[in-house]
Amino acid sequence: MTAPRPSLLLGCVHTGAALLAGLSLLDCLRDGLDERGTALAFGALVVLGELTRWTGAEGREAAPLGAAAALSYALLGEAGGQATHHGVTQVVGVVLTASLLGSVPHIACGRPVRDHLARRVLTTGFAAVCLHPLYNQGAFHGWGTSYALLLAAVLTLTFLCDALLAAALAHSRTGWPFGPLLRDELRATLGIGSAVCATGAVMALAVAVVGLWALPVFSVPLLLTQMSFRRYAAVRTTYRQTIASLARATEIAGYTPAGHARRVAALSREVGRDLGLSEAELTVLEYAALMHDIGQLSLVDPVPAGATARLPAEEQRRIALLGGAVVRRTGVSPQVALIVERLADPCAEQPVAARIVRAVNAYEEKARDAGPGGALAALEELRLGTAGEYAPEVVGSLARVLSRDGLSMPVAG
């Protein structure tokens, strides 16, 4: 589907990040770098973190080592017992330059980096502004253990701001509800974000005491954590590919048109987002949509064009129960099987995911069969069925999602 045009907020975020980056680079070029060895060491660690950046679960870009190194440099007050003198502009300039260098391979591969770099510049600048002006004035001298608590508080605020920023950027680009996006970002922050926060604080405190030798020592645990998350993301990807392959069994056997399950899953996920489902709920919804027709494999005579929405209620119920039984034997989550089994239940008794798959499947079948202009006719037919067959809130959400795409849906495989 075609994403909505970027909003004014998106342009403001990018413009603000660009202005901060430009001013910081100009200041660094004019005055040079203080403590060049320290700046180069942290810059090298940021480069390494960006080079190892990967697309994590739910498509999020993850560069934990780069984030931890950038934040640690932003919070650095001493190095080896000697006070540092770099300010906010040097922190932003070093982190930006290192992030750009580490992003070169990603840019060459065509991966988008603008949002990632904008967030990195703004969050690093925020952390540096919270600490350095007061630190350079001696406001925190003699704080002792309270200084560590201060760093933890600054990092917590920084990650909250980053979550707000990420949710706002996603909302601006897609038009999805801001609340669920923010909730998912906060949940993601509690995962590897907590490891990044802890590593950034410990790294800054350790460098203050023992010097730059602390950088490689305290980077190792985060690298191991990063490897674990990458393996988890790989398992998730393989799991989804397995489910998608199982879903194609109905197409290969000639029970459903090519690409039907994939189209229903994609549109169901969009509707789920519009209704405010969490990322975990969207994943279950997508899997159920992919496998919603699997029960047709138990039929002796295929349904013409796989159009189950036009079958009698009892026949739909039988296919749904057969599908749920098949899903349970595949080892897929019981939640997915439950949704597939409930697809033919009365609308008022269905879980939200089952309501979504049922409406989207009916829309896709009706729009496909109606030919040119079938999208409007199919949507109107669903609206007329909201009295009992389809949930009004789901049909309304489907209309909103389709309107963002020009009220159309691809029907080719």
Q: What is the token pair recorded at 196?
A: 């990044």
Query: What are the percentages of helix, strand and coil residues in the chain, rounded to 5?
Result: 75, 0, 25
Q: Supply the pTM of this predicted model.
A: 0.75
Distance CA 366, CA 360 (A): 10
Q: What is the token pair recorded at 94?
A: 């070093």
Contact 353, 345 (CB under 8 A): no
In this predicted structure, what is the pLDDT of residue 60? Answer: 57
Number of H helices, E strands in the chain: 17, 4
182: left (phi over 0), alpha (psi -120 to 50) or beta: alpha
Contact 264, 277 (CB under 8 A): no
Interval 165-204: pLDDT, tens? 988 888 888 778 888 888 888 887 777 778 888 888 888 8
Give Cα 302 to chain centroid, integer Å: 38
SS in 3 state form for 250-306?
Answer: HHHCCCCCCCHHHHHHHHHHHHHHHCCCCHHHHHHHHHHHHCCCHHHHHCCCCCHHH
| pLDDT tens by residue, the chain, 413 residues | 344 445 778 888 889 999 999 999 999 999 888 889 999 999 999 999 888 877 654 545 577 888 899 999 998 888 888 888 888 999 999 999 999 999 998 888 888 888 889 999 999 999 999 888 877 777 777 677 787 888 888 888 998 898 899 888 888 887 788 888 888 888 877 777 788 888 888 888 899 888 888 888 888 888 887 777 778 777 878 888 888 888 888 888 777 788 888 999 999 999 999 898 888 899 999 999 998 888 887 776 667 666 666 677 787 888 888 888 888 887 788 899 899 888 888 888 889 999 999 999 888 888 876 666 667 777 888 888 766 788 889 989 998 888 876 555 444 43
Enclosing H/E stretch for 162:
helix 145-174
Of the candidates 120, 119, 130, 197, the one whose C-alpha atom is nearest the C-alpha of residue 165 is 119
Interval 24-79: pLDDT, tens? 999 999 988 888 999 999 999 999 988 887 765 454 557 788 889 999 999 888 88
Mean of the per-residue pLDDT values of the chain? 83
Q: What secondary structure letter does DSSP report for 143?
A: -
